[in-house]
Amino acid sequence: MSTSYIERSRGSCALHGALATFGAIEGVVPVIHATSGCGVQYQQGVTQFGGAIPACAAWGNPLSSSNITEKHVVFGGGSRLREQLKNTIKLLQGDLYVVVTGCSTEMVGDDIPAMTKEGREQGWPVIYANTPGFRGSIHRGYELAVHALIEQLPGIPGPELPPEPGLVNLLGIIPQQDPFWQGHLLGLERIFEAAGLTANPLLGLGHGIDRWRRLPQAALTVVTSPWGRDGAQLLEEKYGTPWVELHGIPVGARATGALLDALAERLPVDAARLAAYRQTQESWFERNLVRIAPQYYAGGFQQEFALVGESGFVPGAAEFLVETLGLIPKLIVITDPLAEETRDAWAQPLQSLVDTFKAKLAFAEDAGEIDDLLRASHAELIIGSSLDRPVADELHASFLPVSFPVANRLVLNRGYAGYEGGLAFIEDLGSALLRGRSIKLI
Amino acid sequence: MSAKTAKHIAIYGKGGIGKSTTTSNIAAALAEAGHRVIQIGCDPKSDSTTILRGGNDLPTVLDTLREHSKVKLEDISLVGFKNILCIEAGGPVPGVGCAGRGITAAVELLRELHLFEQYEADYVLYDVLGDVVCGGFAVPIRDGLAQRAYVVTSSDFMAIFAANNLFKAVAKYAPSGGARLGGVIANGLIAPYAKRLVDDFVDRTGTHVVGYVPRSLVVNQSELYGKTVIEAAPETDQAEIYRGLARHIVENEEVTIPRPLNGPELKAWAREWGDRIFSVEAGEIREQEAI
Ligand SMILES: Nc1ncnc2c1ncn2[C@@H]1O[C@H](COP(=O)(O)OP(=O)(O)O)[C@@H](O)[C@H]1O
Ligand SMILES: [Mg+2]
């Protein structure tokens, strides 16, 4: 069954994860060392369905690729890469160049560390990440990119940066694979700022490699998906930075409050200021909930839902839907390829909710399997990816696409993290539920 | 495959075991007997056909492919002893690139150039680097190119290990149209136990030895003249042995699918032989009979 659904993959390979990550840092120029299709697939596939694109994929911003051919496979692609790197540095302005590799060049064993070292000896700011697709999913590519930056950026000369007190690194949000990546980062930034801290989002508009140079200064790393762990552990090893793991981004008032508590526990924050902020936000949030009451009841919001998405979003979203909005869970599917132990750990906070409502919790990547689960759930509302739309139509269920790939939404800075994010989620959800309604004059 | 159906034969074996020497002498003996022969070196060392062409220069297929987009058969072949067409696939500089893919690319090019049809060969011999190190080196036995494979081995464990690996590749690809095994060529056996060890190995793996080629100074001498034994010392016993191998290849077309030993079996087998050899060396048991 699974083989017939291969084209409906919910994620690309490691190379594309690295490209999405490096591309989301301003001034970083990725140089792909692979066959031409690797870059083309990224630009025409991943960038279409993952919300706002990172800078490197922007129109008019060419993606540099060595486009190797059989000759380079047989004899090694080192000289082709050297040439490509030289030309890229001439043509594309950047603060940092990163060689990322595809399957073919890794199979051949091109010596990328040596090539980039050669470049650095000429004064070029160049590092590398070995990211052949066979190393894993797009998530693994994010990990590899983060790892490469933490390990290699200190070797690139840069400006002395004044310390930023209360700095908190954010890891775990994967550009494009999370279509709301930019908005989620912005939402978290806002929360930290309110707590008197400074978020170090590392990715997104306005953030360049200086953000990464500040990594060692941070007092804490906050990880919002299992894919941020590897980087957080490395930072702990190298700089002794402690880290905390959230089970996904906080959606709405409850989870955001819990995050603020966790921060206050670990970092010296102004307790009075924090309490005041919480109070204002919570009351504002509550009052907004009251404002939707007429539509909530008339529109029959209290529906049985299925939620399909990644570990960085699903737990927070599920909790919000059930605890805050009073919807009824039937099926929760986590789609990113988590290790067995991680699955258990991530199932745990969802357990009571699943037990109470006799809902089903599944870990599945295969679209066919997910289709079957959705059908069996008889959900009235499906919150998932555009791949889940046909089954939603089949079930006459309301449908809201939030997970990669998202085909029919334009996402820029929208996100569901924090207080405002919770309200945005309600708006989107409500719009999905009210989609079939027409005006009847009384 | 061609107007005159050529017999494609691949000869494998560990590096330095005597593949090129043996293959070239077989080619020379076949040519001497009136057959049209092509020998293709599938080894990045690119010295397979040296003693067939008196050491004359021959650009490799891959070097030519690297320099020119359009390659002609004349650019990559040389007519050697008794009209044997010599070709070297070539390969990358050691440590870079992918020699396995190189072999694949070279063989593809030869097919595109219709080499086998054009030259109307009776025999095409592939001299292939031993260990079946990756898929690329299995190309001659995999894609229905060669019908028969032979393996050159001595009594050294590493040579046997490589032979066993080849058996694995043959056993894997034979059911889907790949080559089968013609047999084992035992080369340069010296140690008193060597013949018995090789014989025991072929017994265990359901194969057989098609010829024992003794270690001989004539081989080294001929090599220094840039010639095969067939050319340089046609009257010698050694030349006769190579002719015998060539005859065997012409006359015996039966092939087998070998039963390679798995890891633990091979290890146990080697241990057993280690013990027996040690007994001989220690003089505990009378030589020869002991084994
Ligand atoms: N039967 C033999 N007697 C003496 N020398 C031999 C014999 N077979 C091979 N050699 C020598 O061993 C060396 C390696 O042989 P070669 O055919 O080049 O090995 P391969 O092609 O397997 O790497 C050569 O110098 C060759 O002359
Ligand atoms: Mg050789």
Per-residue pLDDT tens over the stretch A346-378: 999 999 999 999 999 999 998 899 999 999 999
Would you say residue B105 has pLDDT above 60? yes
Nearest to B105 among A70, A77, A111 (CB): A70
* Separation in Å, CA of B66 to nearest CA in chain A: 6
By residue range, what is the domain housing residue A182?
167-266
Hey, which of B25, B219, B223, B227 would you mutate to test ligand 1's pocket, going by the most ligand atoms within 8 Å of its Cβ? B219
| Per-residue pLDDT band at B222 (split at 50, 70, 90) | very high
The CATH number of the domain where A383 resides is what? 3.40.50.1980
Shared domain for A70 and A28, answered yes or no, is yes
- One domain, residues B278 and B256: no
Tokens 């024992």 belong to: B212
A19 plus A131 within the same structural domain: yes
* Domains: count for chain A: 3
**Which residues sit with Cβ closer than 5 angstroms to ligand 2, an ion?**
B 19-20
Q: Are A144 and A43 members of one domain? A: yes
Higher pLDDT, B204 or A271: B204
Q: Are residues B171 and B234 in the same domain?
A: yes
Indicate if A33 and A139 belong to the same structural domain: yes
Both B163 and B272 in one domain: the answer is no
Same-domain status, A250 and A352: no
Q: Are residues A187 and A106 in the same domain?
A: no
Which is nearest to A399 in space by CA: A333, A328, A322, A305?
A305
Residue at A414 is within a domain = no
Residue A291 pLDDT more than 60?
A: yes
Nearest-atom number in ligand 1 for the CA of B152 is 22
Nearest CB to B92: which of A76, A107, A111?
A76
Question: Quick one: B192 and B126 in the same domain?
Answer: yes
Please report the pLDDT score of residue B93 as a whole number: 83
ipTM of the prediction: 0.71
Q: Which has more confidence, A136 or B66?
A: A136
* B136 vs A contacts (CB less than 8 Å): none
**Per-residue model confidence (pLDDT) at position A442:** 64
What crossing angle do the helices spanning A271-291 and A252-266 adopt, rounded to 10°? 170
Q: Are A100 and A131 in contact (CB under 8 A)?
A: yes
The CA distance from A256 to A55, in Å, is 29
Tens-digit pLDDT profile for residues A381-407: 999 999 999 999 999 999 999 999 999
A76 touches chain B (CB under 8 A): yes
Q: Are residues B61 and B169 in the same domain?
A: yes
Residue A431 resides in a domain:
no
Last residue of a domain, one of A152, A180, A213: A152
Binding site membership of B222 for ligand 1 (Cβ less than 6 Å): no
Is A286 a domain residue? no
Residue span of the structural domain in which B207 resides: 3-260
Are B245 and B279 part of one and the same domain?
Answer: no
Q: Which residues contact A271 (CB under 8 A, 6 or more apart)?
A: A264
| Residues A183, A143 share a domain | no
The β-bridge relationship of strands A398-403 and B7-13 is unpaired
B285 pLDDT higher than 60: no
- pLDDT of residue B32 exceeding 70, the answer is yes
Chain B nearest C-alpha distance from A99 (Å): 18
- Establish if A281 belongs to a structural domain: no
Burial (CB < 10 A; 0-12, 13-18, 19+), residue A301, is buried
Question: Active-site residue numbers of B?
Answer: 14, 19, 45, 131
A182 with A143, same domain: the answer is no
Are B53 and B33 part of one and the same domain?
A: yes
Residue A323 shares a structural domain with residue A209: no
pLDDT-derived band at B141, boundaries 50, 70, 90: confident
Q: Which residues of A touch B66 (CB under 8 A)?
A: 71, 74-75
Answer yes or no: is the C-beta of B188 below 6 A from any ligand 1 atom: yes
Work out which ligand 1 atom sits closest to the CA atom of B127: 21
Q: Which residues of A touch B97 (CB under 8 A)?
A: 72-77, 108
Domain boundary among A126, A152, A178: A152
What is the domain-level CATH number for residue B86?
A: 3.40.50.300
Residue A312 within any structural domain of the chain: yes
pLDDT confidence band for B104 (50 / 70 / 90): confident
Specify if A259 maps to a domain: yes
Total number of domains in chain B: 2
State if residue B213 touches ligand 1 by the CB under 6 angstroms criterion: yes
Distance B20 CA to ligand 2 centre (A): 4
Q: Compute, in angstroms, the gap from residue B128 CA to the centroid of ligand 2.
A: 8
Ligand nearest to the CA of B89: 2
Closest CA to A174 of A80, A311, A270: A311
- Shared-domain flag, residues A27 and A118: yes
Is the domain of A315 the same as that of A394? yes
- pLDDT score of B291: 44
Whether B139 shows a pLDDT value over 90: the answer reads no
Residue nearest to atom 25 of ligand 1 (CA): B220
The closest of A104, A107, A112 to A84, measured between CA atoms, is A112
Instruction: Indicate if B272 and B195 belong to the same structural domain.
Output: no
- Cross-chain Cβ contact B97/A111 below 8 Å: no
Q: Are residues A240 and A311 in the same domain?
A: no
Going B131 to B133 to B135 to B139, the CA torsion angle's sign is negative
Same domain, B280 and B216: no
Quickly state the pLDDT bin for B97 (edges 50, 70, 90). confident
Q: Are residues B278 and B242 in the same domain?
A: no
Whether the predicted pLDDT of A180 surpasses 50 = yes
Asked whether residue A254 is assigned to any structural domain, the reply reads yes
Q: Please tell me if the CB atom of residue B24 comes closer than 6 angstroms to any atom of ligand 1.
A: no
Cα B270 to Cα B115, B156, B200, B283, distances in angstroms: 43, 10, 11, 20
Does B69 have pLDDT greater than 90? no
What would the pLDDT profile of A200-217 be if each residue is shown by its tens digit?
A: 999 999 999 999 999 999
- The verdict on B182 and B269 lying in the same domain is no
Report the pLDDT value the prediction gives residue B234, as an integer from 0 to 100.
97
Would residue A417 count as lying in a domain? no
What pLDDT score was predicted for residue B290? 43
Task: Check whether residue B144 and residue B286 sit in a common domain.
Answer: no
